[in-house]
Chains A and B, each alone.
Chain A
């Protein structure tokens, strides 16, 4: 029953095609995403009670456990808020004359297909089908990235689809090696199931598992935006419409990271230690943070700044998973949640600012707090949060990852990490001064919010990251520790 949630976005996308009235499209989108969000509550409760949900549909390919449900809940929450935001965003674009009903319909149909592919990737246990779903996320979102149809958007869309498709193709090679590693031990129907691979990890052929890990890390790492495969990410995130940027950054990167976490768990259990996977993950993670910090320090475009910050945070998660201690896994998963909420909020705010000022240049959006009292404030606080300032939740998860690393006795990596995070902080602080210090220039738009529903969505997220930094809900903690047990093996 729980898996009927997968049908909702499909139905919504089909309903969009049948209507010509924009108001109705908005209500379909809010209803569908709201339904999905509400039905996530019993699913999560079942997971907390029983540990996993399986279905016998199509030979039992559908499967959810604590790890996938964490990412799934993020998809549904951010998806719902992005739908709310889209109402105001699209109405504004319609007023400006950029969109007509056909464009809005296309937008919504693609957005729901995109959400469907992500939900599918998270709710199957077969690695092959998960691979298909992850590749389908690229296909569903390629036109959304290029939605503005100008030179920049087309360039971003082309790079996005080519780089991600090739990356994902390499992950397929990894899936084949995974299949090879299990051929001697598992029956052909179970060779690609996460659960069977985890349970029989000890008997898989190590040399093939090792190759599989490398290919899948490179493949899904491309999709997760790990350096040096990150080159599509700043372009795609900065060119996509704001709600899509929020989904790409807050949700899509997690779905890819989820695949990496699963294969890391299998490989570590097979090899009996986390040395091999740990070295690679920490290397890629540190490289991502380094790359991001350099570009953040010199960034002139605020949407690209946010995109590079996503690379940085994915790097932090990769390092946390690479260390593979219970505490660091816990911190990494918590960080994943916090990053999604914070970054989506920032992209919502950046979209409103972009619509108000019509420019992405950091230096040209002075006085944003005066012109957009709520959005501007949320953007300011959000930038502090993403840089890792207390009391926001990013600080607490970064802190727990740091303490896990220092507890392991790895002082060198810990210190370098702190140094790099300080660079990122400096870069974001410089940007903040440029945006908020000084009065607005001579030619500025009239003050006032332009996207009330979107602003409310951003404020909800701000409230969440504010409270989660101070107080972590007991059920969330239980869910994350269940996921940590799945990864680490209790």
Chain B
């Protein structure tokens, strides 16, 4: 069983790398969709286990919600937001992609060593799932700070969120159900608000480059 989750966590980490190497906003959304589908798959496998072993249905509900929200609804919403704003091909990233991928690699190494330095998190060896999933969060943060477009930052935020969600699922076999629900509601509202703000920023600044948000200083 643990092998399957190891594999899934590696695959999720791979999507984080793919996302980092994507150049176009449409590709970001596609990669995000794949990443969410993998997370839904993990939740589904855990959910089946929970039903068989303990008769708990909460993880299965979580899995269905991930499919509805993160695989279908939110990518659709982002597509709509992106279609609604003026499209101009602009370079979106600050550093070039090979450097970003190398930086992502070093983040994984960094996560590995910081987790092993903190000792007895998992006595007798480091949990590779924990390293992979926390690395996804770190790469998401790097993604956010290296993309200029507002929509890239939303995707980065969602990736950070995905990383944390999968960390919670693998390490604690699911947070309490009510907490999971609350996280979903928060995330959905956050994406909607960010979408509206992107629209407004596009109208006011005639661009969604966050470089232009530089008036408030000091």
Contacts and interface: CB of A to CB of B under 8 A. Distances in A.
B172 A183 contact: yes
Interface stretch (B42-50, B66-74, B81-89, B187-195): B187-195
Given A128-B182, A129-B179, A158 B172 contact: no
Contacts of A166: 141, 144, 157, 160
A211 B216 CA distance: 34
Contact of B190 (A139, A173, A189, A211): A139
Nearest to B216: A235
B161 A169 contact: yes
Interface in B158-186: 160-161, 164, 167-168, 171-172, 175-176, 178-179, 182-183, 185-186
A124 to B, nearest CB: 10
Contact of A139 (B141, B160, B171, B186): B186
Interface in B109-148: 118-121, 134, 137, 141, 144
| 8 nearest A-B pairs in the assembled complex, by CB-CB distance | A128-B179, A132-B182, A155-B213, A235-B216, A135-B186, A176-B168, A207-B120, A139-B189
A158 B210 contact: yes
B133 to A, nearest CB: 10
A142 interface: yes
Contacts of B204: 149-151, 154
Interface of B: 118-121, 134, 137, 141, 144, 150, 153, 157, 160-161, 164, 167-168, 171-172, 175-176, 178-179, 182-183, 185-186, 189-190, 193-194, 197, 200-201, 204-205, 210, 213-216, 218
B193 A132 contact: no
Contacts, number: 126
Given A128-B176, A211-B121, A176 B171 contact: yes
- Describe A's contact surface by its main secondary structure: helix
Interface of A: 58, 61, 126, 128-129, 131-132, 135-136, 138-139, 142-143, 146, 149-152, 154-159, 161-162, 165-166, 169, 172-173, 176, 179-180, 183, 188-189, 191-192, 205-208, 210-211, 234-235, 238-239, 295, 298-301, 304
- Describe B's contact surface by its main secondary structure: helix
Nearest to B182: A132
A158 B179 contact: no
Nearest to A156: B216
A206 B118 CA distance: 10
Given A155-B213, A162-B157, A132 B197 contact: no
**Among B161, B186, B193, B216, residue most surrounded by chain A Cβ atoms (within 10 Å):** B216
Contacts of B210: 158
A176 B167 contact: yes
A369 B216 CA distance: 28
B178 A169 contact: no
Contacts of A158: 150, 197, 201, 210, 213
**Among A180, A191, A239, residue most surrounded by chain B Cβ atoms (within 10 Å):** A180
B182 A129 contact: yes
Contact of B164 (A132, A172, A238): A172
27 contacts: A126-B178, A129-B179, A129-B182, A139-B186, A139-B189, A142-B193, A151-B205, A152-B215, A152-B216, A154-B197, A154-B213, A156-B216, A158-B210, A159-B213, A165-B157, A165-B190, A166-B144, A169-B157, A169-B160, A173-B137, A176-B164, A176-B171, A180-B121, A180-B171, A188-B176, A235-B216, A299-B218
Nearest to B120: A207
Given A151-B204, A176-B168, A299-B218, A161 B190 contact: yes
Contacts of A234: 216
A191 B168 CA distance: 13
Contact of B194 (A132, A161, A207): A161
A58 B178 CA distance: 10
B13 to A, nearest CB: 16
Given A135-B186, A152-B216, A179 B164 contact: no
B172 A176 contact: yes
Nearest to B210: A158
A162 B161 CA distance: 12
A210 B118 contact: yes
